[in-house]
Amino acid sequence: MVLEVQGLYKSFSGEPVLQDVSFNLNQGEILAILGRSGAGKTTILRCINNLTKCDRGTIKVDDMYLCREENGATVYANPSTMLKIRKNLGMVFQNFNLFPHMSVVQNIVEAPINVFGMPKQKAHEKAAELLEMLGLSDKADSYPFELSGGQKQRVAIARACALNPKIMCMDEPTSALDPELREGIASIIENLAKDGMGILIITHDMNFAKRVATRIIFLDDGKVIQESSKEEFFESMDNERIRRFVAM
């Protein structure tokens, strides 16, 4: 198990967004969290990546506690442990979040060199390896504005893979892609999982989840409504909230 989330709660301005959310992610598994807009999906990713502090709950990454409850309070890891945790987490944002003033290769090596202290030569070698794997070797010196949506998505994936994380988090990875490009991203995700990476995907794209996921969590109003294998999820549509979502 590379990720464990237990009893996660989060509210904004007194409005509950996450309510007792619990799940785990195993090595080499592709877990899709489905739900309509506003269900709390992205907030889960932000809590796991320490971009948003949870109100209560436990998040454990590769046997290291990012946060946990102690004596009724949520205690976060110290800076040293947090840095180790960050090395094990890759994040691909819905809008890519590439640095517009940096070339493709600079986007990939920025964090490894300047945040984690990786030697420049090693960082650039890793970047070249990732770009070749993703079919972007000829785009190393290009800038984000020169790339298509699918190319930006692959650069974002390369950047997230630069530190060999054990967990890859993806927020709506197909939102800006046409069907052909979605298939390419699906193949990349499957290959990462085959190499042992745990993949956590937040999506409302039912077809994409059906294509890549090994397990599915359905979230509604900040609560886990159903957790099952992909096959069980799509065979069992007896829950009214899930039927409404599928019909969207």
168-182 pLDDT, tens digit per residue, is 999 998 887 787 788
CA distance 86 to 88: 5
**pTM summary value:** 0.90
Q: What is the percentage of the chain residues whose pLDDT exceeds 70? A: 95
CA distance 220 to 227: 12
Grouping H, G, I as helix, E, B as strand and the rest as coil, residue 84 is helix
Task: Tell me the pLDDT tens digit for each residue of 118-165.
Answer: 999 999 999 999 999 999 999 999 999 999 988 999 999 999 999 999
Delimit the domains of the chain by residue range.
97-164
10 Å Cβ neighbour count for 157? 24
Res 247 pLDDT > 90: no
CA distance 209 to 190: 12
In this structure, of 30-34, 54-58, 179-183, 217-221, the range with the lowest mean pLDDT score is 179-183
Rounded to a whole number of angstroms, the distance between the first and last alpha carbons of the chain is 33
Grouping H, G, I as helix, E, B as strand and the rest as coil, residue 245 is helix
Name the pLDDT band for 50 (thresholds 50, 70, 90): very high
How high is the pLDDT of residue 174? Answer: 85
Res 238 pLDDT > 80: no
How far is CA 127 from each of CA 107, 151, 154, 172, rounded to the nearest angstrom?
Answer: 9, 15, 12, 24
